[in-house]
Structure 1
Amino acid sequence: MTLPSKPEPAAFPQGLPLLLAFDLDGTLIRDGGQDLPEETAAALARLRALGVRVAIVTGRDLPPRGVSSRAGFDAVATNNGGRVHFGAELRTSARFGPGDLEAVLAHELDGARVVLFTEDDLYVQLPPGRDPEPWMLARQARPLAEAPHADVTKVGFWHPDVAGFAARLRASHPHLVVTGGQPPYPEFLTVTPTGAHKAAALTLIAEGLGIPLERTVAFGDSDNDEVMLELAGYAVQVGTLPLLARHADTQLAGYGAVGAYLDALAGRLAARATGEAAGRP
């Protein structure tokens, strides 16, 4: 998917309604983390109390409980946007068709770690002599050969040559969504079904919450966030990945700076609300 550069930085949406959509790893929390920084959690609570809507749009298939339970998100999109929940309601869940999944699994990456995700389970293929990782054990991963191919929602690869495989797959199956294989994840690749990307998730979430896209603010740090940052009314790049710079309206140094940024936003919205209540323009 080729995206144009923004001609000039957009203005931050003023007042409500407002939707903030966050990538998770490297953006809202540290990469691989399990909980929100205290400053970020407090700022999100302030924003929600002011009427701001908030959502996660992550590549993970399950957000950590320490994040979901503390932030009270209005919507959660997982699998790079392929699965979207509004509270307990599952709004959409993309799955591979048989031909597409077979093409993905014909990867020719000798010694790769491969993980297939379904709605409820995961299935792994590991190189000989390699033990399952703790998170795989915690999720009770089963052998890849047992995976129900009709229910696969995401495939992940770990291998030094995932970039080469990504290029081949994009050429042969351009309708699939292929992310990773480049900084900040040069040896990790994610493949999701047609339409399972973060821009689609942001569109669905905004529509479901009744918020125009021009009043959405997206936060992201890596290549799978690119389409979301381009689509949102305002884009906040977290980190310094050059790929995202052309889409960013503002940039934060890293996930540790997000809390202060959100707290300042809450302060501005609170001051605006106070002024409106007092009849000031």
Structure 2
Amino acid sequence: MTTTSLPPGLLPGGRFADWRPTAPPAYVVCDVDGTLVGPSAAATDEVVDAVDRAQAAGLRVGFATGRMRGAMHALQEQLHAHGPHVLHNGAEVRADGRTVHAWTLRPDQVDALLEVARERNDAYVEIYPEDGFLVSSWDERARAHWDILDREPIGVIDSSATLGDEPALKATFAVFDPDAVPELIAAIERAGLLAGAAGSPRTPDLTYVNATHPDADKGRALARAADHLGVPLTQVVAIGDAANDLSMLAVAGTAIAMGQAEDEIRAAAHLVVPDVDAHGVAVALDACIAWR
């Protein structure tokens, strides 16, 4: 496909020359914050309608997010996306109401992250079992994040023993000073975990650093979700806007960056759509329908 034959609203990304759309899209996975939604909690009518059109055309539509499943209920009720869905920044894949696969943290890794949080005043850590989340301290500076999750912490966690036999899927540092991010990434990596920085238009004063199993990122989870559907990655479309989306942009047959994404993200994509305020994900979904 040439730049002149692209559907309206799409521009070439940094990897456009490598794009080989040899088969029609079958499965589209959308990041949430900065992609499906902007500063508001809900998707726009334009995005909701585009998801409806895509699924009516036979596409499977899912989301890939750092959020837990409980924090997606309202948006899922609005979108009715069939999935599979990627949660916890890639640590969990859900399809048809059940967990297809999960990558969890060891107790000693949870304890190492809690120790890091105790030593700092510029961040705290949230630990995510299968439902809800616990925090290293009750820090009101993180309340804007609790609002995104649509719930408060279920308690304070002092050690992994608090979890009992329940596995931890992910940990997230809410960072109150962005200068702390490199040190937190290094600490997470020393614990043998994968670190991924992220943000949200809804909390511009907070930065997040996710800690997941070293085999858990959005790219590996996307591959597992596609395998569950029996869809080759060449027929998978991934849409995102942030650094934690890079792994899924790397494996998808068609990688699409949102217009407001940083240069690094746009360079990693085959295509670029308008920004979230201009309903760029709707443009991408309609292009996928046209390619079918």
TM-score of Structure 1 vs Structure 2, range by shorter chain: 0.7 to 0.9
2:5 alignment partner in structure 1: none
SS at match of 1:54: strand
2:284 alignment partner in structure 1: 261
Shift of 1:126: 3.6
2:157 alignment partner in structure 1: 144
Counterpart-to-counterpart distance in 2, 1:252 and 1:157: 30
1:165 alignment partner in structure 2: 183
Q: TM-score, normalised by structure 1?
A: 0.81
Q: In percent, how many aligned pairs have the same letter?
A: 23
2:193 alignment partner in structure 1: 176
SS at match of 2:158: helix
- Judged with a 3 Å threshold, the aligned counterparts in structure 2 of structure 1 residues 250 and 132 are, in CA distance, closer, same or farther, namely closer
Find out whether 1:229 has 2:249 as its counterpart: yes
- Judged with a 3 Å threshold, the aligned counterparts in structure 2 of structure 1 residues 183 and 64 are, in CA distance, closer, same or farther, namely closer
Aligned match for 1:21, one of 29, 32, 38: 29
SS at match of 1:74: coil
Contact 2:194 2:216 in 1 (8 A): yes
Unaligned runs of 5+ in 2: 1-13
Deviates more, 1:150-159 or 1:140-149: 140-149
2:38 alignment partner in structure 1: 30
2:264 alignment partner in structure 1: 243
- Judged with a 3 Å threshold, the aligned counterparts in structure 2 of structure 1 residues 13 and 43 are, in CA distance, closer, same or farther, namely farther
- Judged with a 3 Å threshold, the aligned counterparts in structure 2 of structure 1 residues 249 and 139 are, in CA distance, closer, same or farther, namely same
Contact 2:198 2:208 in 1 (8 A): yes
- Judged with a 3 Å threshold, the aligned counterparts in structure 2 of structure 1 residues 219 and 131 are, in CA distance, closer, same or farther, namely closer
Contact 1:126 1:132 in 2 (8 A): no
Q: Which residues in structure 2 correspond to 1:187-198 (within 5 Å)? A: 187-198=207-218
Counterpart-to-counterpart distance in 1, 2:83 and 2:150: 30
Amino acid corresponding to residue 194 of structure 2 in structure 1: V
Q: Which residues in structure 2 correspond to 1:194-205 (within 5 Å)? A: 194-205=214-225
Shift of 1:162: 3.3
Shift of 1:91: 1.1
Counterpart-to-counterpart distance in 2, 1:250 and 1:241: 14
Counterpart-to-counterpart distance in 2, 1:190 and 1:131: 15
**Deviation per residue, 1:122-144 (Å, 9 max, x gap):** 11234677685553783452112
Counterpart-to-counterpart distance in 2, 1:183 and 1:64: 15
Counterpart-to-counterpart distance in 1, 2:200 and 2:97: 34
SS at match of 1:8: helix
Find out whether 1:104 has 2:113 as its counterpart: yes
**Deviation per residue, 1:36-82 (Å, 9 max, x gap):** 21111111111111211111111111253232123332211100111
Counterpart-to-counterpart distance in 1, 2:108 and 2:60: 39
Aligned match for 2:52, one of 45, 54, 65: 45
Contact 1:13 1:234 in 2 (8 A): no
Contact 2:135 2:153 in 1 (8 A): no
- Judged with a 3 Å threshold, the aligned counterparts in structure 2 of structure 1 residues 171 and 58 are, in CA distance, closer, same or farther, namely closer
2:4 alignment partner in structure 1: none
Shift of 1:261: 3.3
Shift of 1:178: 0.6
Counterpart-to-counterpart distance in 1, 2:16 and 2:106: 38
1:219 alignment partner in structure 2: 239
Counterpart-to-counterpart distance in 2, 1:57 and 1:128: 27
Counterpart-to-counterpart distance in 2, 1:26 and 1:112: 23
Amino acid corresponding to residue 72 of structure 2 in structure 1: P
Shift of 1:192: 1.3
- Judged with a 3 Å threshold, the aligned counterparts in structure 2 of structure 1 residues 114 and 211 are, in CA distance, closer, same or farther, namely same
Contact 1:34 1:65 in 2 (8 A): no
SS at match of 1:138: coil
SS at match of 1:48: helix
Amino acid corresponding to residue 152 of structure 1 in structure 2: A
